[in-house]
Structure 1
């Protein structure tokens, strides 16, 4: 019996694939037969050297180095998953964010996707096939203004850019899809709750409840798992989703309260 989803033989790039949902996506892609290359600033012990590139994607030089590694090791890609993202900005709303903090949020959450797409997507359109997946966030429509105003704005920009890209390259055979997670049970989410607790002078349990309350709660009663996010990404990357482009898939347990 043929598997429902197969990525057999497909070369794929997954940025930030060493932790959290990124690591889960790399693992699942490999299980489904993809030839995966991933990146981060430092290499984990459990990844073969040939699968990994150590780069800082917040810089133009890091993006160029990764794109060159894709061409040399994979000969190009069929799938790009832009998983990289996050926030290190201080709490305190717009008054707390200096120009430097705004630049850090944009350089982490927006510019790597723009730079890597510019390097790699032209070869995909020339070949007439491929999938680009931008991992955004529900915060683009539900920002946490006291804590992640810069992150939310950067993810909103990424979403708008992704839609524009889809209109340009879908007629040339390349699909562009957004996956928009809500709260995910990752090490990063724990660290965020710990940072917020320190900034607010409260316990981690209280800061976690603050985050959940600020999102309006999660109707299913829990955050998404990294494996659930990876499964959605694998589906939209597969041939089963061959007519899906230019749209966004939200995986948030029902957090976003509007249609």
Structure 2
């Protein structure tokens, strides 16, 4: 039996909704009858123009364009899902991370959520209802010093910001939560596994094993699928989770070795 998540006609903003987790979130909310606007730097041909904003939300102007579109087209927002994140920092440990690398990780993984929340949250508070979900990462618990120090630090900052925000606005009717994925089999992670496989002279399955070993193993034996993360997000955003707020839900196949 399919659970009715009671998301019909909810006004939803999803950042980074053209690929991976974001695309799965957009598709699932729309399947449940929500009105969804999503954003990325460029619009895929299959994406309806009315429900998309081409913007770089790592910038102040990009966030402002998204806020204007949400207010003009939806008249406000009931649910915000901040999926945007990633890293372009080079490998090489702390010494490879200069000012630009640190700034880039914070501008991508922290500031867009802060800016969009700051602009859209007042409308939620005025109505006394709303949900904000920040997608963090298990890297804040398990940073890889060779390559993810700055990314992990930015996601840790996002998690702390989210927790503080939840304590402030939950008494006024707005729930704030975090979803913390481990390795998810997105387009980007598939490409990474294929590159590692080619370098090691193995196949895609072998490339996946290399990644899993780098994480210390995944007890489940595989990465999560984007739709599995989207399922969790949709439930948490729905009225079915009406008393859940301020918490972080890890979805990593058991990667983190402690509770």
TM superposition score normalised by structure 2: 0.94
Q: Name structure 2 gaps, 5 residues minimum.
A: none
Tell me: CA distance 1:2–1:19, structure 2 relative to 1, closer, same or farther (3 Å): closer
5 Å-filtered alignment, 1:113-192, equals 113-192=113-192
Q: Helix, strand or coil: the match of 1:58?
A: coil
Alignment-derived partner of residue 258 in structure 2: 258
Cα root mean square deviation, aligned: 1.8
1:224 matched to 2:224? The reply is yes
Number of paired residues?
257
How do residues 190-201 of structure 1 correspond to structure 2 at under 5 angstroms?
Answer: 190-193=190-193
Distance 1:86 1:28 in 2: 22
Contact 1:136 1:158 in 2 (8 A): yes
Identify unmatched segments of 5+ residues in structure 1: none
Alignment match, 2:91: 91
SS in 2 for 1:9: coil
**Residue deviations 1:10-56, cap 9 Å, x none?**
00000000001100110000000100000000101111110100000
Superposition deviation, residue 212 in structure 1? 1.4
CA drift of 1:207 comes to 5.7
1:108 aligns with 2:108: yes
* 1:118 partner SS: helix
What secondary structure does 1:12 align onto?
strand
* Aligned residue in 1 for 2:11: 11
The answer as to whether partners of 1:17 and 1:40 remain within 8 angstroms in 2 is yes
